[in-house]
Amino acid sequence: MKNLKKGKKKNWRMRIVALIGFCAVLSIVIQVDAGVSESGVKCRVEIDRAVLPAGGAQKAVVKITLDAPPPPEKSMRPAVNLAIVLDRSGSMAGQKLERAKDAAIEALRHLGPMDMFSVVVYDHNVSTVVSAQHATNIEWIEGRIRQIRSGGNTALFGGVSQGAAEVRKNLDGNYVHRIILLSDGIANVGPSSPEDLGRLGAALIKEGISVTTVGVGTDYNEDLMTRLSQNSDGNTYFVESSRDLPRIFTAELGDVLSVVAKKVHLIIECPNGVKPLNIIGREGRIKGRFVELSLNQLYGSQEKYALIEVEIPVGKSGEKKDIAYVNVSYENPFTQKKETSSGRVYARFSKDRIKVKKSTNIAVQREYYFNLNAISQERAISLSDEGKKNEAVSELKRSANKLKEIGQEHNDEELLKRAEEMEIQAGQIEKQGMTKKYRKVLRTDSYQMKNQQMSK
């Protein structure tokens, strides 16, 4: 009986210890304060290692993840203000232009009467085929699109400008503003450098207009197209065969029609002593202890993140230190109200190396190295452009090795798979050189990774 009682007491004690242990583990694992909003965008802030080595200054990576909720089923989705800008230069003649028209009509059919729709075409001239109007008179609009014929050169800047002018007609309305640009050639009329088009994109995002670029074939200028998308927070696609165009347009429209947050603004504040060093993969502003980032929109059920490299001062073993506080503000397109979400992350310090290693957050590490790999891809393109093919291949191989090393260290399949893909890509480039296709694949991959573009 005594033994039985002793046994029962021991059991209780074990249960209490287990409960405490579980709580402790839970407190380590969940060192993140989730966003306050239940139905809105959730903000998760994580650090690449929850326990940092004590006794020295070090760099760490903070990942701020925005979890967009799925679009509410009962509410009516936000209206879309869409301008399709089609390249009708001579090189588009034939199947390409026909498929592009099909794609534009496909996009039109996905819209509802509350949406605005316009079509601008350009060769050396720019003309508005369908001026901004409600997507109601479908047959007439289809007829107008079908009448588009191929022409001469490529005034891409003018086309986007005119598309923006059409979107701007309804800028004050409660719309998700979007331009879809399709081109298959080198812009040769008007400003045509990636820098110039990037500036245009940067200006358009200030008006809440994003430009999604679709490059067809292997002759378009991918640098220009991705820069335009990147600076305006749009998506970018590389379509080798024009047959895929309707599918791509549908995918893109799927994103546009599911916008759940607009004008997203992140302010990351680091406490005294913690210094933000670098923003990985995104354009933003670092000002002292503050980092500011903007996104034009979040799509339903989408996860977007930002990676910030920070410098953390010396910490004592057992010390707990706040690393970053994050405030997210955005416009809810369903209610047209400003909403906020916030998060914070801290780290503990320990002299125990095993503890430090065990605390590694592989999800953060993975995204960090994926983004570094995207930067390596861009560097490889630059090296190849300078005629340094071997250095470009070495750069890609180096990046693949790093991915492999980290993947093996943490036994992460995704990292290993990516490393393998990169090795294959490097091998192909080594064998065949940086062909137009590989260059486009690298550029688009790199952008889609940095932008966390899901649909490819």
Partner 1 sequence: MKRRSIIIFWLLLLMPTLVVGAAAFKLLRNEQRRINQEVRLSAQDRAHAIGDSLQLTVEAVEDGLTEALKRIPIEKLEDILISWEERNPLVRNSFIWNQKVGLQKQKPGSYTTSEERRFILRYSSLISGRIPWKNSGAEEEQTGLVENQGRRQKKIRRQKLVERARQTAGEYQSSGGDFKEASRESAGWIPWFEANNLYILGWVRKESGGLVYGVELEVMTLLSRLITDFPLTEALSEGMVYAIIDGNGKVLHQAGKAGLKTGTRPDITVSLAPSLPHWQVAVYFIDGTMMTRSGRGFIVLSGILLAIFIVAIVLGGSLLMWQAHNNLKDARQKTSFVSSVSHELKTPLTSIHMYAELLSTDRIKNPDKKKHYLKVIVTESQRLTRLVNNVLDFSRLEQGSKKYHLEKLDMAVFLCETIKAHSLRIHKAGLVLKENIPDKNIIVETDRDAMEQVLLNLLDNAIKYASEGKELSITLKVRKEYCELQVVDRGPGVPFAHRESIFKKFHRVDDSLTAGKPGSGLGLSISRRLLRDLGGDLLYRLREGGGSCFIVQIPFN
Q: Which residues bind partner 1 (CB under 8 A)?
A: 123-127, 152-153, 155, 157-158, 160-162, 164-165, 189-191, 196-197, 199-200, 202-204, 206-207, 283-287, 294
Q: Which is nearer to partner 1, 32 or 280 (CB)?
A: 280
Q: What are the beta bridge partners of residue 6?
A: none
Q: Which is nearer to partner 1, 128 or 250 (CB)?
A: 128
Q: Which is nearer to partner 1, 194 or 215 (CB)?
A: 194
Which two three-digit tokens encode residue 456? 């490819």
Q: Least separation, in Å, of the C-beta of 50 and partner 1?
A: 29
Task: Characterise 387 by phi-psi region: left (phi > 0), alpha (psi -120 to 50), beta (else).
Answer: left
Q: Which is nearer to partner 1, 188 or 401 (CB)?
A: 188
DSSP E strands in 25-108: the ranges are: 42-47, 51-53, 58-67, 79-87
Q: Least separation, in Å, of the C-beta of 176 and partner 1?
A: 18
Q: Which is nearer to partner 1, 138 or 286 (CB)?
A: 286
Q: Which is nearer to partner 1, 125 or 133 (CB)?
A: 125
Q: Least separation, in Å, of the C-beta of 82 and partner 1?
A: 18
HEC profile of 148-196? CCCCCCCCHHHHHHHHHHHHHCCCCCCEEEEEEEEECCCCCCCCCCHHH
Q: Least separation, in Å, of the C-beta of 195 and partner 1?
A: 9
Q: Which of 148, 143, 256, 260 is nearest to 210 (CA)?
A: 256
Q: Which is nearer to partner 1, 123 or 222 (CB)?
A: 123
Q: Least separation, in Å, of the C-beta of 175 and partner 1?
A: 17
Contacts of 22 (CB under 8 A, 6+ apart): none
Q: Least separation, in Å, of the C-beta of 207 and partner 1?
A: 5
Q: Least separation, in Å, of the C-beta of 385 and partner 1?
A: 18
Q: Give yes or no for a contact between 112 and 76, defined as CB atoms under 8 angstroms apart.
A: no
Q: Which is nearer to partner 1, 127 or 428 (CB)?
A: 127
Q: Least separation, in Å, of the C-beta of 225 and partner 1?
A: 16
Q: What are the beta bridge partners of residue 356?
A: none
Q: Least separation, in Å, of the C-beta of 270 and partner 1?
A: 14
**Cα angle at 199 between 196 and 200, to 5 degrees?**
90
**What is the rounded CA–CA span in Å between residue 129 and residue 216?**
21
Q: Which is nearer to partner 1, 162 or 332 (CB)?
A: 162
Supply the DSSP symbol for 98: H
Tokens 């390249």 appear where?
Answer: 87
Q: What are the beta bridge partners of residue 58?
A: 312
**What is the rounded CA–CA span in Å between residue 193 and residue 199?**
10
Contacts of 276 (CB under 8 A, 6+ apart): 268, 270, 286, 289, 290, 291, 308, 309, 310, 311
